[in-house]
Chains A and B, each alone.
Chain A
Amino acid sequence: MEPGVTRLVLIIAGMAIVTYVPRLVPLVIRTRRELSARQMRVLRLVPVTAIGALIIPGGLTAVDGRLDLSLIGIAAAVILALALRHPFLVVVGSVGAVALSLALGL
C-alpha cells in the first residue's frame, strides 16, 4: 500500500457522506404542511437563481482564471444554446471555441 491511500479513502468517504446527507434528509423527512403559493414560487425560482450563482462569478474565471477566454466560452455557449436544441453540442462548441482561441495564441 502506497502512502496517502488511507488519506484518500478518508477524504472520499467524508465527501460522500457530507454530499449525500443534504440530498437525502429533505427528501425523506415527512411534513403534513402544505406549501403556500409564495413558497412554491420560491422553489420554482431556486433552479434559476442556482444557475445564476453558479455561473457568476465562477464561470467568468473557468479557463485558467482568465476573463477573456472564459467569456468567449460562455458567449459561444449562449449563441449555440439559442441556435441549437441539443445541450451536448453547446458544451462541445463552447469548449471548441475556447480551444481554438488558445490555439490561435490568445
Chain B
Amino acid sequence: MRSARGPAGVGFTILFGYFFIAVAFGAGGRAAGLPVSATAGFSVFVFAGASQFMAVSLLAQGAGAVAVTLATLVLNLRHIVMSLALRDRIRGARVPRAVLAFGITDEVFAATASRPGEIRDTDLLVTELLAYAGWVGGTVVGYLIGGILPPSLERAMGIALYAMFVALIVPALRSSPAYLAPMLAAGILNWGLQSLGVPVGIALLISIPVTAALFAIDPRWSRA
C-alpha cells in the first residue's frame, strides 16, 4: 500500500469508502427500527464498522445488552495487535495517544501501517478525523434516505465493506506479491476455525496473529 499520497489523501480515500458503508449501516439501523439517535450513537461512540453491523443484527434478534457487549469485545480485540504495531512507529507529542487510539480502525491501520517509515501523530490524526467524518456523516445520511433506497441497492451494499478491504490490499499485493500466501492462509485458517464452530471474533483473534507469526519465520514473506 505504498503511495505518494499524504495523510489527507489517505483520509479522504477512507472518508469516501466509509461514507458509502456507513450509509448501508444507517439504512440498516432504520430498517431494524432503531431511533436515529441510537443509530448515530453507535457510529459516534463506537466507531467500529463490523461490530456495529453485528450489534444491529443481534438487537434485531432480541439479544440483550451483555451478549451484544461481549460479542463486540471479542470481535474488536484484534485492534490490540494493530495498536501494538503502530505504537513504536508514531512520532510527535502534539496529539494525546488516548485521542489517536479512538480512531484506530481496520482501514486506518491498514492504510497507515503499510506505508514505510515513521508516522507523525498529526498525520495520523488527520487521517482518523476524515475517516470519522465519513463514518458518522454516512450513518446519518443513510438513516435519512433509508426509506427511499431501491431494495436491490440496499442489499448490494452488503459488499461495500469487503470491496474496501480489497481496495486496500490490492496495491500492497502488487508491490509485494509474496503477501498473497499469508493473506490467503489467514483467510483459510479463519474459515476453518469458524467451520469448527469457533465464534467469528475469536476466530479472527486466532487466525490473524498466528498466521502472521508463522509467515514471519522466513523473511521472504514480508519483504517490502
Contact = CB atoms under 8 A, between A and B. Distances in A.
Interface of A: 2, 5, 7-8, 10-16, 18-20, 22-28, 35, 37-39, 41-59, 62-64, 69-70, 73-74, 76-78, 80-82, 86-88, 90-96, 98-99, 102-103
Given A10-B65, A11-B69, A55-B187, A46 B83 contact: no
A100 to B, nearest CB: 8
A59 B159 contact: yes
B167 A90 contact: yes
Interface in B160-182: 160-172, 174, 179, 182
B93 interface: no
B101 A45 contact: no
Nearest to B173: A48
A37 B165 CA distance: 27
B159 A95 contact: yes
B171 A81 contact: yes
B136 interface: no
Contacts of A62: 158-159, 161-162
Contacts of A58: 50, 162, 200
16 contacts: A15-B46, A15-B52, A23-B79, A44-B113, A52-B211, A54-B204, A55-B187, A56-B186, A73-B159, A74-B162, A77-B159, A81-B170, A87-B167, A91-B163, A91-B167, A99-B153
B22 to A, nearest CB: 12
B126 interface: no
Contact of A92 (B20, B42, B179, B183): B20
A5 B209 CA distance: 38
A13 B44 CA distance: 11
A10 B63 CA distance: 13
A18 to B, nearest CB: 4
Contact of A24 (B83, B166, B194): B83
Which of B41, B84, B184 gathers most chain A CB within 10 Å?
Answer: B84
Contacts of A73: 156, 159, 162-163
B46 A19 contact: yes
A52 B184 contact: yes
A105 B164 CA distance: 25
Contacts of A10: 65
B21 interface: yes
B165 A51 contact: yes
Given A41-B222, A77-B162, A90-B163, A102 B156 contact: yes
B83 A54 contact: no
Which of A23, A44, A92, A94 gathers most chain B CB within 10 Å?
Answer: A23
A13 B66 CA distance: 11
